[in-house]
Amino acid sequence: MYRPVPKELSILSIGNSFSVDTMEHLANIALSLGVERIRLGNLYVGGCSIAMHHAHAVGDMPVYKYYTNEGNGWSCTPEYKISDAVRREKWDFISIQHGSKDGSRYTDPASYERLPALIGYVKALAWEGAKLAFNMTWVGEPYDTHAELISYGRDQLLVYRLITEVTQRVVGAIPDVVRISPTGTAVQNARTSSLETVSRDGYHLTYDVGRYLAGLTFLGALTGADIRPVTWAPEGVCEVARRIAVESAANALACPYEVTQSQIKE
């Protein structure tokens, strides 16, 4: 069922603040699970949508902050291009993150229409062993002020269902996308637990358990490894919260598009 934990792992994310949330603790999680050499890259433009990523790619525009981590913390290089990041390493996985800064809607299939072209651009530059992935976003809290959530009457579960549907029907239909991380499902799973919140501002994830949860899910989805033996957790994450994060991520990996109720009662 599970794949062995790889000894070496390299992941590039073409993303935004959601990819920052997802990848923040990824190196420590991977090392805790037995990865011996880790190389991470994250191309960041705040709120960057698929359409914006595509425009930046075809224009070869140096508009990203490029964050890297080899297990010793993150460093940043400004004014970076997608092409340079893709060609920089023999990445095992290259993940794409959607955003809504330009008015794109996570629930709207039309906002994904540039994804095949963006993937084609990346594949033409990447080494032949790179696998393409997509990181499914999560839904904000009901009090969040984002327009998309408001337009659905702040019905969190409805928006979650619509995101899962478009992810399966549109993203899942692209043959080159070989991994989809059900990060949004892991967040919904955690919301059934005793955790007070996994959001720091209604939408972005908390710096400790929220980002930990996302990193666990992302690593498990990409590698197929069992994330349950992880021992490391960020500072401020108590043992109960650690167990809930691991449970929520594992349940999302088992049932990527359905909410699973937490069984941890503490």
Residue 61 has a pLDDT of 98
> pLDDT value at position 144?
79
Pairing of strands 177-181, 64-69: unpaired
Q: Where are the alpha helices (DSSP H) in the chain?
A: 17-23, 26-33, 50-58, 82-88, 115-125, 147-151, 156-166, 183-190, 209-223, 239-254
Q: What is the pLDDT of residue 208?
A: 98
Q: Give which of 219, 173, 20, 18 is closest to 104, Cα–Cα.
A: 18
Tokens of 97: 């993150």
**pLDDT 10s digit of each residue in the chain, 266 long?**
899 999 999 999 999 999 999 999 999 999 999 999 999 999 999 999 999 999 999 999 999 999 999 999 999 999 999 999 999 999 999 999 999 999 999 999 999 999 999 999 999 999 999 999 999 999 999 887 888 888 999 999 999 999 999 999 999 999 999 999 999 999 999 999 999 999 999 999 999 999 999 999 999 999 999 999 999 999 999 999 999 999 999 999 999 999 999 999 87
Q: Which residues pair with 80 in a beta bridge?
A: 64
What residue ranges do the domains of the chain occupy?
A: 8-254
How far apart, in whole angstroms, are the C-alpha atoms of residue 39 and residue 8? 8
Q: What are phi and psi of 201, to 5 degrees?
A: -145, 15
Identify residue 133 by its one-letter amino acid code. Answer: A
Task: Give me the amino acid identity at 252.
Answer: A
- Whether 23 and 224 have beta carbons less than 8 Å apart is answered as no
pTM score: 0.98
Q: Round to whole Å and give the CA distance between 144 and 196.
A: 16
Side chain identity at residue 84, one-letter code: D
CATH superfamily of 8-254: SGNH hydrolase (3.40.50.1110)
- Look up residue 233 and give its DSSP letter: -
- Mapped onto helix, strand or coil, the DSSP state of residue 39 is strand
Q: Whole-angstrom Cα distance, residue 238 to residue 250?
A: 18
